[in-house]
Structure 1
Amino acid sequence: MKLRNNGNLLAVFAFTFWGLLPLYFSLLSSADVFEILAVRIIFSVPIMLLAMHFMAATHTPIKTLLADKKSLFLCFLAGLCGLISLWAFTEASSRGDVLAASLGYFINPLCSIALAVAILGERLSWAKKTAVVLAVLGISYQVYSYGELPWLSLIMAGAFAVYGLIKKYIKFDSFMSITIEVILLMPLALIYMGWLYFSGESDFFSTTSAQQLLYIGMAPAVLAPMILFSFAVDRASLSSIGLTQYIEPSLQFLIAVLIFGEVFDQVKLISFGFIWLGLVFCILEATKVIKSKKRVLN
């Protein structure tokens, strides 16, 4: 079986790449976060266009794309939400707070659940209700102990959950949607880079060639897992892919504690513990659903 046809394996690779991204971001720890994101967007456009060509992705006529103004607008909104989430992730990773990034992605499924109830009117199972309550308790304990909300984690999780919700209403396929998102955001990125260049505040234009390559490498580093994930969604059930998503924050957690030596104190242990316990309930429920579907198919 070809790799690109194995949805579950593709999802594992995608979330593994995402989980390892803090290691790459640490190489640009002194760079301006907004400049990192701007360069990433600019170089993402040619990469996505080449990927669409060589991977034989669905080619929708330009006229058809331009006619669907609603989907184009939603692509722009989705791109902004994805950019906000990536900003929070990059900010956390570059300033040595990978635990915040890990917490954000552990919270993300629970934010998606909350949006599904509030916007889509979905009903929660007992496992999901329990997970949401435990997550609220975990975050509340952290707020009580530290005296502040884990803003980066919440922004990262909330923005990415909204990104996923918006994508449900876009009529283009996921691959085309990602391409349009970066194309629509590119003018903003070019304006920002132009302002930095003419004001003499750009690190990208004044740094070494090696550092510039690290900036440019951000584009494929972020896009590679997104492309793999887009193929995975088309080739595997969302329930099975949903179980693999915890690879990402788990890897980030291990990187934060074992490689970067971030402090994992008692407060974070209890806070993460509440959230982990809730996710265990969700995983057990999802596993049960997958097994029951297999029995029906057999």
Structure 2
Amino acid sequence: MQSHRAGNALAAFSFVLWGILPLYYQFLPEADINELLAFRIIFSVPVMLITIGLLKRPFPSWQTIWADKHSLIATSIAAAIMCISWYAFTWAITHDQVLAASLGFFINPLFAIALGVIFLKERLSHAQSAAVILAIAGIAYQVWHYGELPWISLIMGSFFALYGLCKKYIRYDALTSVTMEAAILAPLALAFMAVQGISGQSVALSSDLSTLLLYIGSAPVTLAPLIFFALAISRTSLTMVGLMQYIEPTLQFLLAVFLFGEVFDEIKAISFSLIWLGLLLCTLEALQGVYRRKFIHAENTSI
């Protein structure tokens, strides 16, 4: 019970950290997105290795990693997918589109449900079916009025769901997987920064020290919630994680509307409301399942 509570606390804290990430990027309003992504990848490797050392977790040998070709390929695909998702997220929060980022994370569970049906042959419950239909209606309402798809939100939501699907095929532990994702991409990121530096076109390398440190700091501030999440996942249930994941887009939504002053008009209000209604139905269904299992367990214990 104590471990379960600790897991819930760690999971909630990880989603809070993810939710307030836009605050950090307000210090880099004119950041070069390509270089920001490169710095995040490069410095993720030492940050993860230090973290694994501090947590005294065993890191598998390179022979062990190489021997599991299936996981290595899946990790490489996951790394590429995460790059796209993270690029879209970083662009959104550095271009006054935090509301779009929030929408992306709100619709992510619905993309995950759809992928589960397509690839894992999972069956939709009535609440999940309704949620998917309501999400499609919410997006369609925006398209009808604005005349364009919310591309950033759709890219973020779909690619993060694809990332989650890839993780199901990786047999490495969570921390090793994240470290390997960065290590696989690091040579490309280093080559890109070398070209930028030699050509004299690098924004980060030609900036003052405080700005350069903010570029470097993008690695630990984005990895911190991931590390807390990895520590939480073995201590709590996936149901609780699913319920708490809405902390992140909710905080981003509140920051966008009340702190950053982004426009939340009637069209977005109706679109978001349709999506929120679908998520509410899924949440109530999940809570009903939790209480039903607890009731059955209590009955079996008392017999």
Q: Which structure 2 residues correspond to residues 1-298 of structure 1 after superposition, within 5 A?
A: 6-298=6-298
Aligned-partner Cα distance in 2 for 1:138–1:106 = 12
Aligned-partner Cα distance in 2 for 1:195–1:104 = 33
TM-score (norm 1): 0.97
- Answer whether contact 1:4 1:231 (CA < 8 A) is retained: no
Q: CA deviation at 1:56?
A: 1.6
Letter in 2 for 1:164: G
Aligned-partner Cα distance in 2 for 1:18–1:3 = 23
Aligned-partner Cα distance in 1 for 2:133–2:218 = 36
Q: Secondary structure at the match of 2:77?
A: helix
TM-score (norm 2): 0.96
- Answer whether contact 1:14 1:225 (CA < 8 A) is retained: yes
- Answer whether contact 2:116 2:122 (CA < 8 A) is retained: yes
Q: Secondary structure at the match of 1:53?
A: helix
Aligned-partner Cα distance in 1 for 2:208–2:17 = 26
Q: CA deviation at 1:97?
A: 0.7
Of 77-86 and 153-162, deviating more is 77-86
- Answer whether contact 2:5 2:236 (CA < 8 A) is retained: no
Q: 1:3 to 1:37 in 2, by over 3 A?
A: farther
Q: Deviations over 1:271-297 (max 9, x none)?
A: 001000000000001111111222233
Q: CA deviation at 1:4?
A: 10
Aligned-partner Cα distance in 1 for 2:25–2:124 = 37
Letter in 1 for 2:60: T
Of 53-62 and 192-201, deviating more is 53-62
Structure 2 spans left out of the alignment, 5+ residues: 299-303
Q: Deviations over 1:36-82 (max 9, x none)?
A: 01001111100100111110224322211111112111111111111
- Answer whether contact 1:20 1:251 (CA < 8 A) is retained: yes
Letter in 2 for 1:175: L
Aligned-partner Cα distance in 2 for 1:295–1:212 = 55
Aligned-partner Cα distance in 2 for 1:161–1:292 = 28
Q: Deviations over 1:226-270 (max 9, x none)?
A: 001111111111011110000000000000000000000011001
Measured on the aligned residues, the alpha-carbon RMSD in Å equals: 1.4
Letter in 2 for 1:229: F
Aligned-partner Cα distance in 2 for 1:241–1:295 = 21
Deviant stretches of 4+, over 4 Å: 1-5
Letter in 2 for 1:111: F
Of 57-66 and 75-84, deviating more is 57-66
Aligned-partner Cα distance in 1 for 2:123–2:141 = 27
Q: Share of identical aligned residues, percent?
A: 52
Q: 1:111 to 1:187 in 2, by over 3 A?
A: same
Q: Secondary structure at the match of 1:154?
A: helix
Aligned-partner Cα distance in 1 for 2:22–2:208 = 22
Q: Secondary structure at the match of 1:128?
A: helix
Q: Deviations over 1:135-190 (max 9, x none)?
A: 00000000111000000000001110000000000010111100100000101111
Structure 1 spans left out of the alignment, 5+ residues: none
Q: Secondary structure at the match of 1:269?
A: helix
Letter in 2 for 1:256: A
- Answer whether contact 2:3 2:235 (CA < 8 A) is retained: no
